Structure 1
Amino acid sequence: MIELRTPREIEQMRPAGRFVADVLTQVSAAAKVGVNLLELDALAHRMIKERGAESCYIDYHPSFGASPFGKVICTSVNDAVLHGLPFDYRLQDGDLLSLDFAASVDGWVSDSAVSFVVGNPRGGDRGAADQKLIEATQDALAAGIAAAQPGNKIGDISAAIAAVGHGAGYRINTDFGGHGVGRTMHGDPHVPNDGRKGRGFPLKPGLVIAIEPWFLETTDEIFTDPDGWTLRSADGSRGAHSEHTVAITEDGPLVLTARD
């Protein structure tokens, strides 16, 4: 069921958005060469406890997950792109890391993701390819947000994302994409990363959605890692992921998870 939020409820969602943004900012800053992914999860866990927030991930067990997630942040490295389950791995110089985090504050959820290269980006073709991939997801996110105007439709967001992705030379997987956000992390409507303008659910003031383009460098096929969660590219190429929680308002899109 698709739910629309009142202006007062959208205001009540702002603290969750700020908290999610703050966690991603601090965890990103901590993601240095030699740092263990489990240390990043512990940092996010500590921030949740200090804020009195609730994790959306730790007990999360959808049909596509092998078991409850058990951690509080997704850490996807290199050929992993979504649902990266933190494990005993120390970050290396040049790793492409995607962080995805969702939490509930006072009963309201926000969800956001960011990708970046750890340490010094590798030079040459590798470094250029990583930066192109990351920037494509960022540009696609910005295009999707710009299309999130009252009177438009979900397909306008999807088409805007796809135009950037295809324009950069990437194929697009639509198995996973954006979604409704509110009292729970995942709700209706689904917001695919490819679609046709003018199609789908109308964007009405009060609709709150996560817009999340993710691209793989040379494929649109993925498989699930033996950990039962981490999604990796079928050909070993790298992935990147950008995401914001966005409220549709009378005045246009309001990004609740904007980072300083």
Structure 2
Amino acid sequence: MTGLEVRGLTISLGGPPIVDRVDLTAPRGKITGLVGPNGAGKSTLIGTVVGLNRPVEGTVHFSGDDLLGLDRRARARLCAYVEQAATTEERLTVAEVVALGRIPFAPAWASGPDPADEKSCMEALSRLGMSAFAGRQFATLSGGEQQRVHMARALAQQPQLLLLDEPTSSLDIRGQLQVFALLRSLATEDCTVLMALHDLNLALTRCDWLVVMNHGRVVAEGAPMEVLTERLIADVYGVEARRIQGPVGPVIVFETAL
């Protein structure tokens, strides 16, 4: 099983290509980081994998399944998506937001909540440390707390493929470490993780595989230590940086804009 395979993907949302003939792989049971400057096409690519956009051309497969050919319900049984910032005007409790993750599995004739679904939702909240918030109104939570709830909703889908767009952007340091510990646990359970990131140090130290995008194209792919070189950071980000060995591992030190 190879995980996620994207081949020749081109995406144009009414103008020039935002993603241009992209090939990439997210290995099965690993954490893959998708990095690159603003406007590189990361969010558009992830949105296309989960069916939010239709590509001009190209293929997206996961373990033999054609994701672009699946209907919405079938795709949601296979993969889950956590947006960078998702809001709702509905007056939903935290538990109700998480329960949305079980909709793809609910039979049309269901007359009430399924105890197994409720158990999955509560387990997902527990893994995100949000059990005590189950009865709270979602809209009253902080940005970081809302992000955790959306991750719990994705976990409730019990996905084989988890896609995330900047999942730690609203979290403090403790929250970031907890989320990456959770993602590592999911990877060991054979879940394939693809996440867009801006923090190159997190990408270097927490990911198993990296894909670097710039101007809509993949410019590098491979193991983090091999990909995130000082030369690549200068070429892609326009920043002079040094990669040094810190007390607990490698660290990228950013010095000046070029």
Structure 1 and Structure 2 fold alike (TM over 0.5): no
Instruction: Identify, as 1 or 2, the structure richer in strand.
Output: 2
- TM score, norm. by length of structure 1: 0.29
- TM score, norm. by length of structure 2: 0.29
**Which entry has the higher C-alpha Rg, 1 or 2?**
2
Instruction: Identify, as 1 or 2, the structure richer in helix.
Output: 2
